[in-house]
Structure 1
Amino acid sequence: MPICVSIGDMKDTAAFAETVHAAQAPVIVTKNGKKTLASMSPEVYEGLRLEAARAQLYDIVDKGISDIESERSRNAKTLTAVLRKQYGL
């Protein structure tokens, strides 16, 4: 469950920084009961960034596997033979 603090709690910067660093997820800051911004420690940010990069890599690998299975791609040896035949090389 995310931690929510009011924007007024940011006035005590030391306590706010301690809350952010202690949290294992982004801390949501609210103003008049509405979400205004999110703050996170460098460790949480790096974890989220790596998770997003990993998900993107998995999507690329899945697409590559799908291309191979549906024969939309060829290995280098086959492609070279096709190009040599096509262009008389």
Structure 2
Amino acid sequence: MTVCIPIKELKNTAAFARTVEEASEPVIVTRNGYETFAVMTVEKLDALKQEAARVRLYRDIDEAEDDFASGRVVDGHESQRAARERYGL
């Protein structure tokens, strides 16, 4: 369940830190009744980044498999030769 905290309650930083650490989701901080920002532990942020990277990787793999199945491929040696020629390597 999402935890919402009014911004004025951030004065007690120790209690706020405990709330963030114990929450299973990001803690939403509100100002004048409107969501202003979200806070989460570094571990949760890292897990979120890792999941996003995994999603991008799977999307890229799917795209590569579609390219291969559709014949949108080039020979690796030819591709390297063209790149060296283009960039003077």
- With normalisation by structure 1, the TM-score equals 0.80
3-state SS in 2 of match to 1:30: strand
Task: State, as a whole percentage, how many aligned pairs show the same letter.
Answer: 43
Residue 30 of structure 1 aligns to which amino acid in structure 2?
T
1:40 is aligned to 2:40? yes
Partner secondary structure for residue 72 of structure 1 = coil
In 2, the alpha carbon distance for the partners of 1:23 and 1:10 equals 16
Verify: 1:2 aligned to 2:17, yes or no: no
Q: Residues 69-88 of structure 1: matches in 2 within 5 Å? A: 69-74=69-74, 76=76
| 1:16 to partner: Cα distance | 0.2
What is the CA distance between 1:76 and its match in structure 2? 4.0
Which ranges of structure 2 fall in alignment gaps of 5 or more residues? 80-89
- Name segments (4+ residues, structure 1) moved above 6 Å: none
Alignment partner, residue 66 of structure 2: 66
What TM-score do the two structures reach when normalised by structure 2?
A: 0.80
Q: How many residues align?
A: 80
Q: Which has the higher Rg, Structure 1 or Structure 2?
A: 1
Letter in 2 for 1:20: V
Instruction: Please provide the CA RMSD for this pair.
Output: 1.9
Unaligned runs of 5+ residues in structure 1 are 81-89
Aligned equivalents of 1:14, 1:6: Cα separation in 2: 15
Describe the superposition over 1:15-34 as per-residue Cα deviations: whole angstroms up to 9, x where unpaired. 00000011121110001110
